[in-house]
Amino acid sequence: MFFSVRGRATVITVAVAALVLALVFVLLMLLARDWTRNNVWQESEQTVERVVSDITRGRGVESLDTGPGETDLVQVVGSDGRVVAASEAMRGRPALAADEVTEGKVLLDETDCPDFLNGCVRLFGTRLGWSPWGANVMVVAASPLPTLVNVWLLPLGLLLVMAGLLVLIAWWTWHTIGRAFVPIDEIRAEMADFGARGLGHRVPVPQTGGELQALAETVNATLERLEEATDRERRFVSDASHDLRNPLTGLQTRLEVALDEPDDHEWRPTVESALRDTRRLNEIIVDLLELSRLDARAPVPVERSDLGELVRREVARRPTRVPISTHLEGGVFVRATPGRLIRVLGNLLSNAERHAEGHIEVTVAREGDDAVLEVLDDGAGVPEEARERVFERFARLPESRDRDPQGTGLGLPIAREIAEIYGGSLRLADGPSGARFVLRLPIAGQPGASVRNGE
């Protein structure tokens, strides 16, 4: 129990509180001692001052009778060190500070522990030139100093109060931390149950505000992303298996048919069909490997590239059945891997070629801090409700399947993944006609050394 966070926090809190209370106890005892001593000193001084005042006004022995707030230990000591007068409590007692009186001291202020008194006293005295008992006498008053026996109730009371405070602090710490950990225990219990309930389960969110609620919301958001990633991977495996099965089945069938034919059978058409299936398999595998690398965010070298110049070279070398016009602004630099940018452009142009009726337009321009690449075709376009679906892996609209049955459905998802890796975006926007794909990438800074960055 004490090895838990709750137990350790309670022990540490109590230890710190005990240290603080011990310091407070010492300070209070020092203050109490000083306060008591000041009262004792004040008591003896006030007694002497009052007796001296009464003597100067002509009072005799009756001036030694003490009142409230005064000490009853009063003596009048002659210059020879003998007691010439004393209060009732000091009658028959030896002289206080006789040596100091005979030495001729005018003022006496010291602590003494005479044998005939129970404990130490604080002595205060003043010399008088004239008195009813003769000249040159000293009036001395003694006030008992506080001892542990006298003040034992104060430290005992303080210790009891501080012990109670420590118990209260320990209980409050244990109780408060326990209540704070209740939502965490609930979250832990719910997460331990995921094996039985699946990723669709969510942890409870305490409506307490602060860090605990943020923790539960973050856990649920993470679980949601994990569930989406798992579902996406499941669909990915299912779709990949389906897309791979078709060319594999066709390839196997053609090869089996070719083996069953007589030796003089014309085999070239069969081999050509098998070669087409093999190429399709290769395209799917290449796309799957590229997606795997993109998902892993593997570091690749990047460099500062002129986006307009890169597009110009790629369009110039690309054979196409549809004319492509370009409007390329110079000096639009981005920091990325040129090979991946070429793949994005190639996927966008391939998609445009499948749907264009007679023209494709490519533009590169700078808009604020972004480099913008647009690819427009004059085809039928994409319905607004299906614009996000075209970026799902293996997702293909009916028109796309009709125009190119051999497509993999991975070109546009790969293009978007690459754009997001370099801090940009790829989306379908409104256009005058057909589909308008807009790629945005951050403008690169000044030329510098190449870095390796997979994000």
Asked whether residue 26 is domain-assigned, the answer is yes
Of residues 171 and 399, which shows the higher confidence score?
171
Q: Quick one: 271 and 314 in the same domain? A: no
Examine residue 158 and state whether it is found in any structural domain, yes or no. no
Q: Considering the entire predicted model, what is its pTM? A: 0.48
Highest average pLDDT, of 36-45, 419-428, 443-452, comes from 419-428
CA 321 remoteness from chain centre: 58
The H or E element spanning position 372 is strand 370-377
Residues 97 and 121 in one domain: yes
pLDDT for residue 172 is more than 60: yes
Instruction: Answer whether residue 1 shows pLDDT above 70.
Output: no
Cα dihedral across residues 294, 299, 301, 307: positive or negative: positive
382 domain-assigned: yes
Residue 400 is part of which domain span? 299-442
Q: What is the mean pLDDT of residues 168-173?
A: 87
Asked if 306 and 246 sit in the same domain, the reply is no
Q: How many CB atoms lie within 10 A of CB 280?
A: 21
Lowest mean pLDDT among 116-120, 287-291, 439-443: 287-291
Residues 275 and 303 in one domain: no
Q: Which residue is associated with the tokens 């499948």?
A: 354
Residue 271's CATH number? 1.10.287.130
Alpha-carbon gap, residue 415 to 432, rounded angstroms: 23
More confident residue, 346 or 5: 346
Write down the pLDDT at residue 373.
Answer: 94
Question: Is the pLDDT assigned to residue 286 strictly greater than 60?
Answer: yes
Residue 20 identity (one-letter amino acid):
V
* Tokens 């000096």 -> residue: 331
Q: Looking at the predicted structure, is the pLDDT value of residue 383 above 90?
A: no
Where is average pLDDT lowest: 110-119, 187-196, 388-397? 187-196
Q: Cα–chain-centroid distance for residue 366? A: 39
How many domains is the chain built from?
Answer: 3
Q: What are phi and psi of 101, to 5 degrees?
A: -70, -45
Q: Is residue 164 part of a domain?
A: no
Question: For residue 139, is it within any domain?
Answer: yes
Q: Would the pLDDT of 315 be above 60?
A: yes
Single-letter amino acid, residue 122: R
**Highest mean pLDDT, choosing among 37-46, 183-192, 415-424, 445-454:** 415-424
Evaluated on CA atoms 219, 223, 224, 226, the torsion sign reads positive
Task: Give yes or no: residues 105 and 222 share one domain.
Answer: no
pLDDT at 192 over 70: no
pLDDT tens string 202-213: 767 777 666 667
The CATH number given to whatever domain includes residue 87 is: 3.30.450.20
Instruction: Mark whether 15 and 53 lie in a shared domain.
Output: yes
Contact (CB, 8 A) for 358 and 380: no
Does 190 fall in a domain? no
Between helices 307-317 and 338-355, what is the axis angle to 10°?
A: 50
Domain boundary among 128, 144, 160: 144
What is the model's pLDDT at position 209?
65
pLDDT over 90 (residue 47): no
CA 192 from centroid of its chain's CA atoms = 24
- The CATH code of the domain that includes 414 is 3.30.565.10
Least confident of 38-47, 80-89, 106-115: 38-47
pLDDT of residue 376: 93
pLDDT at residue 331 above 80? yes
pLDDT above 70: percentage of residues in the chain: 80
The pLDDT of 286-311, averaged and rounded, is 79
> Whose structure tokens read 């007691």?
83
Mean of pLDDT values over 266-270: 72
pLDDT band at 100; cut points 50, 70, 90? confident
The closest alpha carbon to 142, from 26, 33, 64, 214, belongs to 64
Single residue among 251, 272, 295 that ends a domain in this structure: 295
- Mean pLDDT of all residues belonging to the chain: 79
Residue found under tokens 């059945």: 321
Start-to-end CA span in the chain (Å): 45
Indicate whether 274 pLDDT > 70: yes
pLDDT at 389 over 50: yes
Instruction: Indicate the residue among 244, 277, 295 that finishes a domain.
Output: 295
What does the pLDDT look like over 394-425, one tens digit per residue?
Answer: 766 666 555 555 556 778 888 898 899 889 99
- Both 270 and 315 in one domain: the answer is no
Residue 178 in any domain: the answer is no
Can you give the pLDDT at residue 96? 87
The SS3 of residue 164 is: helix
274/384 same-domain check: no
Q: Let me know if residue 433 belongs to a domain.
A: yes
Q: Are residues 381 and 409 in the same domain?
A: yes
Helix (H) or strand (E) holding 14: helix 5-56
Q: Do 273 and 321 share a domain, yes or no?
A: no
Between CA 142 and CA 111 the distance in angstroms is 9
Tens-digit pLDDT profile for residues 219-233: 778 777 777 777 767
Same domain, 350 and 229: no
As a whole number of angstroms, the distance between CA 369 and CA 331 comes to: 13
The number of C-alpha atoms within 13 Å of 262 and in the hemisphere containing its C-beta is: 2
pLDDT of residue 198: 64
Are 42 and 140 contained in the same domain?
A: yes
Alpha-carbon dihedral of residues 271, 273, 279, 284, nearest 10 degrees?
-140
